[in-house]
Copies of this chain bind each other. A is one copy, B any other.
Amino acid sequence: MKLIAESIDIGTRSPTVLLNEADAAELGVHALERIQLQRDGRTTIGIVELTDELISEGTLGVTRRLGHIDGPVEVSVAPQPNSVYYIRKKLDDIELEHRELERIVRDIYEERLADIELGAYVSAIYTNGLSMEETMHLTSCMANIGETISWNDSIIADKHSIGGVAGNRVTPILVSIIAAAGVKIPKTSSRAVTSASGTADTMEVFCDVEFSIEEIREIVKETGGCLVWGGAVNLSPVDDQIIRAETPLSLDPKGQLIASVLSKKKSAGSTHAVIDIPYGEGAKVESLAEARELAEDFNRVSEHLGMTIECAITSGSAPVGRGIGPVLEAREVLATLDGEGPNDLRVKAIRLADLLFESVGVDADATEILDSGAAQETFREILAAQNGDPDVAVSDLSLGRHTHIVRADRDGVVTHINNRLVNEVGRRAGAPKDHGAGLELHRCVGEETESGESLVTVYAESSDKLADAVDLLERIEMVRVRHPDEALVDRV
Contact = CB atoms under 8 A, between A and B. Distances in A.
Interface of A: 8-14, 16, 18, 21, 25, 28, 30-32, 49-54, 80, 84, 87-88, 91-93, 114-120, 122-124, 126-128, 244-245, 248-251, 433
Given A10-B51, A127-B93, A114 B115 contact: yes
Contact of A11 (B11, B14, B52, B115): B52
Contacts of A25: 433
Contact of A116 (B52, B116, B127): B116
In the complex, the 6 A-B pairs of residues with the closest C-beta atoms, listed nearest first: A119-B119, A115-B115, A116-B119, A123-B123, A11-B50, A13-B31
B88 A249 contact: yes
Contacts of A91: 123, 126-127, 249, 251
A238 to B, nearest CB: 15
A244 B114 CA distance: 12
Contacts of A124: 123, 127
Nearest to A18: B10
A245 B116 contact: yes
Given A114-B248, A115-B116, A124-B123, A9 B88 contact: no
13 contacts: A9-B53, A10-B54, A11-B52, A13-B30, A28-B433, A32-B115, A91-B127, A92-B127, A114-B115, A115-B115, A116-B118, A117-B249, A120-B122
Nearest to A124: B123
Contacts of A126: 91
A117 B119 contact: yes
B128 A50 contact: no
A80 B248 CA distance: 8
Contact of A251 (B12, B88, B93): B88
Contacts of A49: 10-12, 16
A196 B477 CA distance: 59
A492 to B, nearest CB: 20
Nearest to A464: B1
Contacts of A122: 116, 120
Contacts of A11: 21, 31, 49-52
B119 A9 contact: no
A32 B124 CA distance: 22
Given A11-B31, A52-B9, A54-B9, A249 B84 contact: yes
